[in-house]
Chain A
C-alpha cells in the first residue's frame, strides 16, 4: 500500500460526458502527479501540482484539467470524452522536496480505470 488513494476504481461512461477522478496523496506529500496509461502505451505524464499550484505540464489535452485543493487532494477532470480516452489514470505523490523542483521518488495510487463507450 503506497498511501496514495484514488477513487473511483472503475468508471464507465459514454462519449461526450464529463468525469472527475480523485486522488489523495500520501500524508505529508505536497506534489501530486497525474498519468495516463493506454492499452498500447506506457505511462504518459499529464500534469503535476505542487502545494496547490501547477508545476509541470505534459501531454495533457485541453479537454482535461486538474487542480489541487488546500487539503492537497487533487482532481482530474476529463470532459467531452472520446473512445480514445479509455485508459488507466494514475495519480502519484512525492514529498516536500518538490519545492526545489526536484523529486526522487513518486508513489503511485492503484489507478482509476476509465472506459468510454
Chain B
C-alpha cells in the first residue's frame, strides 16, 4: 500500500526554466509534508516542508504547494540550475503513527 506516490520517475528540464515535481498521497491524516534531495552516495538532505494547515511555503528558489482536497503536493524550483540535478523524495509525516513515509523519488536532470 503506497501511501505516498511520485508517479514520475524522472524529469528533464533546461537550465533557467521551472522544474515541477509532483507527489500524491492517500492518507488525509498526514500532518506535515517534506521534500528531500539526494545526491548519489549521500544521504537525503532536507529541502523544504509544509504543514497540512498551509497551502504554500516558499524558501528561495523552492516553493512547495499543497492541495489538500486533491491530496497532492508539488515542488517548484525556479530557476532550475544544473546543481539541482538529484533525486527528489516527497515525504509525509503522521503524528498518529510517528512515521515518515517516503515516495519512490523523482530523478531531476537540469541540462545546461
Q: Which residues of A contact B (CB under 8 A)?
A: 2, 4, 33, 35, 41-45, 48, 55-56, 58, 90, 92, 100-111
Interface residues on B, range: 20 to 34
Q: Which residues of B contact A (CB under 8 A)?
A: 6, 31-32, 34, 36, 41-46, 49, 89, 91, 93, 95, 97-105
Question: Which residues of B sit under 8 angstroms from A4, Cβ to Cβ?
Answer: 43
- How far apart are the CA atoms of A103 and B46 in the complex, in Å? 13
For residue B102, which residue of chain A has the nearest CB?
A: A43
Q: Tell whether, in the assembled complex, residue A56 and residue B46 are in contact, meaning their CB atoms are under 8 Å apart.
A: no
Given contacts A2-B43, A106-B100, 7 further A-B contacts (CB under 8 A): A41-B104, A56-B99, A102-B31, A103-B93, A104-B34, A107-B46, A111-B42
Q: Tell whether, in the assembled complex, residue B43 and residue A90 are in contact, meaning their CB atoms are under 8 Å apart.
A: yes
Closest 10 CB pairs of A and B: A108-B43, A56-B98, A43-B102, A42-B104, A108-B44, A42-B102, A102-B95, A105-B46, A110-B43, A109-B43
- How far apart are the CA atoms of A110 and B42 in the complex, in Å? 5
Question: Which residues of A sit under 8 angstroms from B31, Cβ to Cβ?
Answer: 102
- How far apart are the CA atoms of A102 and B93 in the complex, in Å? 9
Task: Report the minimal beta-carbon distance from B4 to chain A, rounded to whole angstroms.
Answer: 8
For residue A58, which residue of chain B has the nearest CB?
A: B99
Task: Report the minimal beta-carbon distance from B104 to chain A, rounded to whole angstroms.
Answer: 4
Name B46's contact: one of A42, A44, A48, A106 (CB within 8 Å).
A106
Q: Tell whether, in the assembled complex, residue B44 and residue A43 are in contact, meaning their CB atoms are under 8 Å apart.
A: yes
A2-B43, A2-B45 known; A45-B32 Cβ under 8 A: no
A101-B95, A101-B98, A103-B93 known; A42-B43 Cβ under 8 A: no
- How far apart are the CA atoms of A101 and B32 in the complex, in Å? 13
Question: Which residues of B sit under 8 angstroms from A101, Cβ to Cβ?
Answer: 95, 98
